Amino acid sequence: MPKKGKKAKAPLSDEEQLLLFQQKMLAEEEMAKKKERLLSQFLKDKLAKEEHNSALNLNKINTQWRTVLREIKTRELHKDIEILSQTFERVVDCKNSVIKSLAKDLSEAEEQYAHALRSHLHNIDQLLALQRCRLSLLEESYNRELEALTKEFETERAETMPYLL
Q: Determine the average pLDDT of the residues in 24-46.
A: 92
Res 21: pLDDT: 87
The pTM of the whole model exceeds 0.85: no
Task: Report the distance separating Cα 165 and Cα 159, nearest Å.
Answer: 11
Q: Is the pLDDT at 30 greater than 60, yes or no? A: yes
What is the CA angle 53-55-60, rounded to 5? Answer: 95
Name, in order, each residue with C-beta under 8 angstroms of 20's C-beta and a sequence gap of 6 or more: 12
Looking at residue 1, the DSSP 8-state letter turns out to be -
Name the helix (H) or strand (E) containing 10: none
**36-88 confidence digits (pLDDT tens):** 999 999 999 999 999 999 999 999 999 999 999 999 999 999 999 999 999 99
pLDDT above 80: residue 3? no
Question: Half-sphere exposure of 123 toward its Cβ, with a 13 Å CA cutoff?
Answer: 6
Residues 6+ apart with CB under 8 A from 12: 20
- pLDDT, position 1: 45
* Mean pLDDT of all residues in 112-135: 96
pLDDT at 4 over 80: no
